[in-house]
Structure 1
Amino acid sequence: MVDLKLNRLPDRTPVKLTISIPPDLHLALADYAAIYQQAYGDDQAIADLVPHMLAAFLASDRGFAKAREGLTERRK
């Protein structure tokens, strides 16, 4: 077997998630998409913004990161 510097890539298959949200949250997301378009001149659908918003939220949640370390250790 060849010894490559790059490890095997992880599974990057998207997972479809269907949710229902209240009207006020939908309005806030629509407003965010409109402000995003004004800021960057790039029109993006709410569905395209939400995964990045969730990732940013999770990445910034230190309590979640710390608690998740414990879960990861138990999975090994």
Structure 2
Amino acid sequence: MTKLKLGPIADDKPVKVTVDLPASLHRDLVEYGRLLAESGHSPIEPARLIVPMLERFIGTDRGFTKASRGLRDGK
């Protein structure tokens, strides 16, 4: 089984956003969704992967965390 950073995708009410993706990135997202299905989940459509990936990216970005904490603290 492939170890992926992204786990199950929560079913949440989406907000519609239009994004143009390079074809190579779309192919990678399709493959990522397929690999998730191999780990016991249903295949995930590429559009549903984008939000959790961005959330994980922002959530693990130490520079962003530090900068946003500074803004909240008034620094």
Do both proteins adopt the same fold according to a TM-score greater than 0.5, normalized to the shorter chain? yes
Query: Identity percentage over the alignment?
Result: 35
Provide the TM-score with structure 1 as the length reference. Answer: 0.68
CA distance in 1, matches of 2:14, 2:24: 27
Uncovered stretches (5+) of structure 2, i.e. residues with no partner: 1-12
Paired residues, number: 63
Q: Which one has the bigger helix percentage? A: 1
Task: For 1:60 and 1:39, locate their aligned partners in 2 and report how far apart those are by CA, in whole Å.
Answer: 23
Relative CO higher for 1 or 2, CA cutoff 8 Å, sep ≥ 6? Answer: 2
The unaligned stretches of length 5 or more in structure 1 are: 1-12
Paired position in structure 1 for 2:29 = 29
Q: Which has the larger radius of gyration?
A: 1
Aligned alpha-carbon RMSD (Å) = 2.1
TM-score, length of structure 2 as denominator length: 0.68
